[in-house]
A = this chain, B = another copy of it.
Amino acid sequence: MSEPDIAALDANDPLGAIRDRFVLPEKLIYLDGNSLGPAPKAAFDDFKQVIEEEWAQGLIGSWNSAGWFESPKALGDRLGSLIGAAPGQSIVCDTTSINIFKAVNAALGLNKERRVIVSELDSFPTDLYMLHGLDVELRLLGRDGDNLANLIDNDVAVVLLSHVNYRTGALFDMASINNLAHQAGALIVWDLCHSAGILPIELDKTQTDFAVGCTYKYLNAGPGAPAFIYVAERHIRAARQPLSGWWGHARPFAFEPGFDAHPGIEKFLCGSQPIISMAGVESGLDALEGVSIEAVREKSLTLTDLFISLCEPLCQEYGLVLETPGDTQRGSQVSFTFEHGFAVIRAMCDRGVIGDFREPDLMRFGFAPLFLRYADVTRAVEILEDCLKEKVWKNPAYTTRPAVT
């Protein structure tokens, strides 16, 4: 595509104006919104309100008057509307890891006769780590042509999968896998960390049992903002989760010595939530207000298609291997394995294009349609090409591994 073609794409982008809702450092091309979303501009005032008014002036009274105590439920319902969940089934709280623990334990409790969990070797590792120490047998979908249908049989209690693979960006078909699981009598737990806010999700319609996810990627809620958990209405009453703290009690302020779980989705709460970080979830959802998730998906596919096609000649010339499905069976990231990927990502970063790197050799580029322009894509590819041409991996400054990338 020519420069004018790209300019036309940007000029006609129905989401073009949404970029203005975000703070973006000047001249930076941020291809890491799949890891930490940028700050919505309005968040600055939202946080100020919570900190300087609600906390500093309202003090203890704000638990009621500012809606702090109700915020996990209120935000859960709002977030639910983005993932096809009717109200009363989603709640914002704790971390993705902890919510996986709750969901998997609850699902195991609902499927007591079985102790097999099917998951994927390529899951974000914490999903598997949270199963460590559970009295279960783990069956992992490998990377070489295994097939879920072969793994899910009548011994399987729970299928735990990432909707979008954090490494490759591959997208599972939720409806058909739910079907597969349910036909075998298994329950499904979806990790939506890399899909919530970036593509249409229909938890209720696809008969999903449980889902969890984070809010700091495509939902732009701020670093480490509270995660969410969804439990289908049909399971809530019977479900039991082991982190039975006071916020999950039917009467948290009666201060009874015995635990009596809340009858609603609130039973998936545990302790006091980090209210200031919670404010970011509201700001993040506000930044998505009035935006059609279908339009987000459409732009996401066009951005990633453009990136993939522009990178094709580089793959040929330099040996990058595309790891992301080339059709619509992907989320909103594009990944390549490349021997010198670490150095290339570091060098691109120095030139104002932020992607990320996952050991041992994976380059990931995330395309968040709320703030990225088509011109950003072409510019990012130019800089990638420069780095490859210059063989930046010859420069030792780009080859030292830091503790965190």
Measured between beta carbons, the chain B residues less than 8 angstroms from A98 are 94, 98, 243, 245, 270-271
What chain B residues lie within 8 Å of A43 (beta carbons)?
Answer: 51
B359 & A245 in contact (Cβ 8 Å cutoff): no
A255–chain B nearest beta-carbon distance, Å: 5
Q: Mark A261-295, 1 if CB is under 8 A from B, else 0.
A: 00000000011111111101000000000000000
Which residues does chain B contribute within 8 Å of A132, judged by CB atoms?
A: 244, 259
Tell me the minimal C-beta distance from A364 to chain B in angstroms.
Answer: 11
Q: Is the CB of B126 within 8 A of A245?
A: yes
Q: Which residue of B lies closest to A167 (CB)?
A: B255
Any chain B CB within 8 A of the CB of A56?
A: yes
Residues of chain B within 8 A of A97, CB atoms compared: 243, 245-247, 270-272
Interface residues of A in 43-66 (CB under 8 A from B): 43-44, 47-48, 51-52, 54-57, 59-64
Residues of B within 8 A of A242 (CB): 101, 133
> Is the CB–CB distance between A274 and B225 below 8 Å?
yes
Q: Given A95-B245, A245-B97, A59 and B36 touching (CB < 8 A)?
A: yes
Q: Which of B36, B247, B280 contacts A60 (CB 8 A)?
A: B36
**Are B32 and A245 within 8 A (Cβ)?**
no
Contacts of A276 in B (CB 8 A): 47, 222-225, 274, 276-277, 280
Among residues of B, the one whose C-beta sits closest to the C-beta of A121 is B257
Is A297 interfacial (CB 8 A cutoff)? no
From B44, B59, B133, give the contact of A38 (CB < 8 A): B59
A69 adjacent to chain B (CB < 8 Å): yes
Q: State the Cβ distance, A48 to closest chain B Cβ, in Å.
A: 8
Q: Mark A62-74, 1 if CB is under 8 A from B, else 0.
A: 1110001100000
Please indicate the chain B residues that have their CB under 8 angstroms from the CB of A121 in the complex.
Answer: 257
Q: How many residues of A contact B (CB 8 A)?
A: 87
Give the Cβ gap from A141 to chain B, nearest Cβ, in Å.
Answer: 12
B404 touching A125, Cβ below 8 Å? no
Q: Does A238 contact B (CB under 8 A)?
A: no
Complex CA distance for A123 and B55, rounded to whole angstroms: 27
Do B23 and A56 have beta carbons less than 8 Å apart?
yes
- Per DSSP, chain A at the interface is loop
Q: How far is the CA of A361 from the CA of B203 in the complex (A)?
A: 45
State A270–B271 Cα separation when bound (angstroms): 15
Q: Is the CB of A359 within 8 A of B38?
A: no
Residue of B nearest to A246 (CB): B126
Q: Is A254 part of the binding interface, using a Cβ–Cβ cutoff of 8 Å?
A: yes
The reply on A96 being an interface residue by CB < 8 A is yes
The yes or no answer to A373 lying at the interface (CB within 8 A) is: no
CB distance from A271 to the nearest CB of B (A): 3
Interface string of A354-366 (1 = CB under 8 A from B): 1010110000000
A222 proximity list for chain B (CB < 8 A): 51, 55, 275-276
**B125 and A273 contact, CB distance less than 8 A:** no
Expressed in whole angstroms, the minimum distance between the Cβ of A192 and any Cβ of chain B is: 15
8 contacts between A and B (CB under 8 A): A48-B48, A55-B223, A59-B354, A97-B272, A98-B271, A125-B255, A133-B244, A224-B275
Smallest CB-CB A-B distances: 5 pairs: A95-B271, A97-B271, A97-B245, A274-B277, A126-B246
Beyond A25-B59, A126-B246, A216-B272, 4 additional pairs, beta carbon < 8 A: A68-B224, A95-B272, A140-B257, A227-B271
